[in-house]
Structure 1
Amino acid sequence: MIEISTISVLLIAFTVNLLLFKLFVVVKRKRYPNGPFGLPVLGHLPFFGKSPPITFSQWGQKYGDVFRIRMGSWNTVVVNGYEAIKEAAEKTDDAFSGRPEFMTQKLLQEITGEISLAFGPFDDIYLQHRKVVATALRHFTCRKSRFTEDLISEEAVQLVENLLKKSKQEPVDIRENIQYATGSVIYQMLYGRGIDLKEQLNRMVESANKFIKFTGSGNPADVLPWLRYLMPWKITGFRNMNIYVEAIRKGRIENHIRSFSPGNVRDITDTFLAADLQGKNRNERGLTRSRLLNSTADLQGAGFDTSNKSLQWLILYMSMYPEVQECVQHEIDEVIGSGRRIELVDKSRLTYTEATILEVMRMTTIVPFALPKLTIKDTTLGGYDIDKGTVVFFNLHSVSYDKEFWGDPQTFRPERLIDENNKLNTEKCNHILPFGLGRRRCVGEFLARMEQFLLFTNVIRRCRFSKPADESYDMEPDPGLVYSPKPFRVVVEERQ
């Protein structure tokens, strides 16, 4: 009897300890981030305010750098601050590298018939896909190839001529000129030099503007899918516009397929065709020709809009801060002079100019959340547990306006990025993240920086921009997938 009682007690004690252990593990696994109070169905969408990046920064001060919200039907985590964003983006297991299947992305995939490099899932095919695209871009932007540098410089000359012809000392809106210059660069890189651009550029600019209007600072139907049934006309308009543009893009690609010669790679589309041919020779599977060629849609959209908005912001800031503009022009005059074309190799010697470009990028943070991420496995961040399938936003605005790091982040001051040796301060420059971090970092970063530098320096060397005396500038951005300046006019004068 004693022996039976002893065994029973031991069994009971073991069972209790096992239950307590399991309970402890469950509780430990559910240590989620804190966050503000939301509403049923809508979650926190009604509380984002006019500027979600600023709202998220304010919530970060209260709830910490990692906090939880809900966007409609999606559990969401917002990550603020450089260290937390870097930790998440550079996780060795790529836990934060997925993409949510928002309605906008589903519509685009339905129209193109293929998975997008930018919006598609993170897997082995994505990594292979990204490698091919990066190689293609590198082929046309390396120092050995003059293709892209010559193209950008030619477009800069044409842009200057158009601006000077248009101005005649009267205030003008130059945004359309910038749109066509940047659009021409990416279009000719993708589909060849010297092609007839007028109709294609008109459609590209029109579709980009409609896409921005459709998405705004975030399309509610992405996180509240039932909204598509309440506003079907909006979805139909978006679909029809993209179908038309996609038909033009596919027409260009079909022309390339018919005229392709492996020994004569003319542009990035040809590079993709050559890579597909090499892949077949190696019996590689997974990355299809169709999916690879769909990369032109990603490059066309991203390459146009970010470069376009960046140059708009740069010229707006030069008009607003004439003393900075004069310092940039003086440095270019001293280092380069007027007798030759500015080249990419000059970038390292134009320290103040590069600091000015970076400071404008910091102040504007034109893609404040990068593209949304999705956790592809259960993971942790900042001591908190985050479940698989959670939408994640990196609030890059919080890095650009970190008062503890920058001191006076609201002040436009390019010299903050220059050290005592008249070199760029690496640590501070690394805290400016217009292209994101990690393996989802923008694949076209080098091209974008190259285009920014060459267009800006060639234009600012010949043109002086000033704010009309009777106008004031609103420097707050218009929200969108890419944040743009509000409509503005400038006076353009030719420098003597």
Structure 2
Amino acid sequence: MLTALLLALCSIIFLYLSYKYAVGRPAGFPPGPPRLPIFGSYLFMLLIDYKYLHKAALILSKWYKSDIIGLFVGCFPVAVVHNGEGVREILNDQTYDGRPPLFLSKMRDPGDCVRGIFFQEGILWKEQRRFILRYLRDFGFGRRFDQLELIIKEEITDMLDMIRNGPRYEHEHHLVKPGGYRVQLPLLFNPFSANSHFHILYNERLARSEMAKLVKLVQLGLQFQRNADDYGRLLSIIPWIRYIWPEASGYNKLNEANLYVRAYFSEFVDRHIDSYDDCSERNFLDLYIAEMKKGLPEEYGFNREQFIMGLVDFSFPAFTAIGSQLSLIVQYMMLYPEVAKRVQREIDEVVGSGRLPTLEDRKNMPYTEATIRENLRIETLVPSNVPHKALNDTELMGYRIPKGTVIIPSLYAYHMDKRIWSDPEKFRPERFLDNQGQLCLKLDVSLPFGAGKRLCAGETFARNMLFLMTTAMLQNFDYTLAPGDTLPDLTKNNSGLIITPPDFWVQLKER
């Protein structure tokens, strides 16, 4: 009898403690779902929408009738914000400029160190970002630069030649079919975008015959993007899962991609270090090497390992994200052929067919620019932004946020908020035009590149590439359907660290 009573008492205590754990949260923390041991609230999000966690979070927000929800990803407390005012506050308040210690950020470096720019904070992040941005601008990054535009023009010319004449080298078979006019997306655009970016870094670019490693870099970069998610997958909650289910957990694919990307950048960093001459300044890499040799305080981060990861972070969007966004634009041009025709009419009127479009043409092509901006809004490439972290105890939207809380400003929810956009589900470039049909930047309150100190450093480069490549393609080709092809299905797009279309072949027709 006594044993039965003790067992019953223990069961009651266990159930009570389990209940307190499940519903317990810091005082004043936003409302949200319960948590389970080890997993926190992550499993509930997977059950709601395992493919698009940013949509799962938005559904939870509607269930709790709150624009901010609190949940747990493993042991990490997380606050997710779904309205414009809150998103802007997070992006512009340096209190939220920290970065959480997710496993995905640690696994990029041997010994699980965190280096680079994306996942850094404090003085190292400030010094590295300041230095890299300051001097990359001298080589055309983040501003209009005539020499860089000429390089991009040459890259686009090479791309158009490959599209028309088919592959010339073995690695180009991944990009275009023999005979030409049938291309694979999102792979097609990235090597040429990356080559333009690498010209900024080291004042060189690869010939088409030498781009095999670059094509593989793009493939594995996309593999890394696709096999993570907004919250770092289960690997960030229970890292030891990689030893039990290395394939199912995504670790193998992430690690394979990470090793190749790091090796790629290590190779040319070491080549420049070995050939460095302090009497000759060849490119940006030499400027960084010179800074390394000054013996600055260790917390400033000027060393080989930080150099490699800093370049990885600044280059990653150029060889993965830009091509993905361009491919999303292609999807919408195929789904909305009337928009594509209107863009083509504008290209014909402003540019004609005797030359490629230039950045100077952009001011005279408001509908084209509005179309690109609308695609950036409706297909938010980084739906949950890169996760932020509260650096101090603070208050957000009337709720208490403890120091160390992971903060997610949902750019997806912001871009789909009817209170801001009226009809956000519609693809409507006209929303950015005034009554005279001119581009009105005051109407564009979208935040596809974030804002504040954590604003994407490559915004200008990305916008320039999106305009030049989109217009070059539509100037020369129509997107058509070959026998057996179907129109793009947007529900099949992948949601990893960024939104990417699945690999698909597109038929082009000469205009």
TM-score between both structures, scaled by the size of structure 1: 0.85
Give the AA of the match of 1:141.
G
Deviation at 1:408, TM superposition (A): 1.6
CA distance in 2, matches of 1:201, 1:112: 26
Q: Answer yes or no: is 1:161 the counterpart of 2:161.
A: yes
Q: Name whichever of 291-300 and 95-104 sits farther off.
A: 291-300
- Tell me, yes or no, if the aligned pair for 1:89 and 1:437 is still in contact at 8 Å: yes
1:165 positional shift: 3.0
User: Could you tell me whether the CA contact under 8 Å between 2:225 and 2:496 is conserved in 1?
Assistant: yes
Indicate the SS of the match to 1:489.
Answer: strand
Matches of 2:353 and 2:487, distance apart in 1 = 33
Give the Cα–Cα distance (whole angstroms) in 2 for the partners of residues 426 and 420 of structure 1: 13
Tell me what 2:451 maps to. 437
Structure 1 residues 469, 398: CA separation in 2 closer, same or farther (over 3 Å shift)? farther
How far apart, in 1, do the equivalents of 2:332 and 2:144 lie?
34
Residues 305 and 482, structure 1, Cα contact 8 Å, conserved in 2: no
Please list the CA deviations of residues 381-428 of structure 1 after superposition, one character each: whole Å capped at 9, or x if unmatched: 111110011111111111111122222211111111111133323243
8 A contact 1:32–1:386 mirrored in 2:
yes
Per the TM alignment, residue 433 of structure 1 is displaced from its structure 2 partner at its CA by 1.6
Partner of 1:247: 263
Alpha-carbon distance change, 326 to 133 in structure 1, aligned in 2, over 3 angstroms: same
Structure 1 unaligned residues grouped into runs of 5+: 1-28
Q: How does 1:131-142 map to 2 (within 5 A)?
A: 131-141=130-140
Q: CA deviation at 1:204?
A: 0.8
From the superposition, tell whether residues 30 and 449 of structure 1 become closer, same or farther in structure 2 (CA, over 3 Å).
same
Change (3 A) 1:493 1:241: closer
Is the CA contact (8 Å cut-off) linking 2:381 and 2:448 kept in structure 1? yes
Aligned pair partner of 1:483 in 476, 483, 499: 499
Among all aligned residue pairs of Structure 1 and Structure 2, give the percentage whose two residues are the same amino acid: 28
1:90 Cα offset (Å) = 1.3
Residue 477 of structure 2 is matched in structure 1 by 463
Q: Does 1:190 align with 2:201?
A: yes
Separation (CA, whole Å) in 1 of partners of 2:106 and 2:299: 24
Pick aligned residue for 1:83 from 85, 103, 108: 85
Q: Distance in 2 between matches of 1:108 and 1:224?
A: 17
Matches for 1:343-362 after TM superposition, within 5 Å: 343-362=358-377
Residue 212 (structure 1) aligned with residue 225 (structure 2): yes
Give the drift of 1:96.
Answer: 0.8
| Unpaired stretches in structure 2, ≥5 consecutive residues | 1-25, 167-176
Pair 1:408 & 2:423 matched: yes
Report if aligned partners of 1:355, 1:415 keep a CA contact under 8 Å in 2: yes
For residues 241 and 284 of structure 1, what CA distance do their matches in structure 2 show?
29
Q: Equivalent residues in 2 for 1:231-242 (5 A)? A: 231-232=245-246, 235=251, 238-239=254-255, 241-242=257-258
1:428/1:82 Cα in 2 relative to 1: closer, same or farther (>3 Å)?
Answer: farther
Q: Deviations over 1:111-164 (max 9, x none)?
A: 6966111111x2123112111121233222266743421222111112222223
Residue-by-residue CA offset, 1:7-59 (whole Å, 9 max, x unaligned): xxxxxxxxxxxxxxxxxxxxxx9322111334333222223213222222222
Q: Distance in 2 between matches of 1:320 and 1:459?
A: 16
Determine the structure 1 residue equivalent to 2:17. none
Farther-moved stretch of structure 1 (123-132 vs 71-80): 123-132
Aligned partner of 1:472 in structure 2 is 487
Q: Which residue of 1 aligns with 2:33?
A: 36
Deviations along 1:159-213, one digit per CA (max 9) or x if unpaired, are: 2222233476976534332232223223343344244642321331232133134
1:65 and 2:67 aligned:
yes
| SS in structure 1 of the partner of residue 469 of structure 2 | helix
> Do 1:137 and 1:447's aligned partners in 2 also have CA atoms closer than 8 Å?
no
Is the Cα–Cα contact under 8 Å of residues 468 and 489 in structure 1 kept in the other structure?
Answer: no
| Aligned-partner SS, 1:125 | helix
- State the Cα RMSD in Å: 2.7
Which residue identity does 2:367 align to in structure 1? Y
What is the Cα deviation at residue 447 of structure 1? 1.3
Tell me the secondary structure at the aligned position of residue 160 of structure 1: helix
Distance 1:51 1:283 in 2: 42
8 Å CA contact 1:111–1:242 kept in 2: the answer is no
Instruction: Give the stretch that moved more between structures: 70-79 or 257-266.
Output: 257-266
Cα distance, 1:294–1:175 mapped onto 2, change above 3 Å: closer
Q: CA deviation at 1:478?
A: 1.1
Aligned residue in 2 for 1:123:
122
Give the partner amino acid of 1:339: G
* Distance across 1 between alignment mates of 2:144 and 2:379: 33
Q: How big is the shift at 1:222?
A: 0.9
Counterpart of 2:410 (choices 390, 395, 401) is 395
2:327 maps to 1:312: yes
For 1:12, the equivalent position in structure 2 comes to: none
* Structure-to-structure mapping, 1:347-386, within 5 angstroms: 347-386=362-401
2:475 counterpart letter in structure 1:
R
Q: Which residue does 1:9 correspond to in 2?
A: none
With 398-407 and 257-266 compared, the bigger mean Cα shift is at: 257-266
Instruction: Tell me the residue number matched to 2:11.
Output: none
Equivalent residue of 2:490, what SS? coil
Alignment correspondent of 1:201: 214
Indicate the residue corresponding to 1:56 in structure 2.
Answer: 57
**Cα distance in 2, alignment partners of residues 256 and 293 from structure 1:** 12
Change (3 A) 1:112 1:337: farther
In the alignment, is the contact (CA less than 8 A) between 1:109 and 1:116 conserved in 2? Answer: no
Query: What SS does the aligned partner of 2:81 have?
Result: strand
Matched AA of 1:37:
P
Q: Report the more deviating stretch, 356-365 or 102-111.
A: 102-111
SS class of match (1:108): coil
For 1:11, the equivalent position in structure 2 comes to none
Question: How far is the alpha carbon of 1:451 from its aligned partner?
Answer: 1.4
Q: Which amino acid aligns with 2:55?
A: I
Residue 190 of structure 2 corresponds to which residue in structure 1? 179
Contact 1:169–1:493 (Cα < 8 Å) also in 2:
no
Q: Rg: which structure is higher? A: 1
2:100 match:
100
Moved more, 394-403 or 454-463: 454-463
CA distance in 2, matches of 1:375, 1:468: 51
What secondary structure, in the 3-state scheme, does the structure 1 residue paired with 2:187 have?
A: helix
Letter paired with 2:73: M
Query: Is 1:320–1:467's contact at 8 Å kept on the other side of the alignment?
Result: no
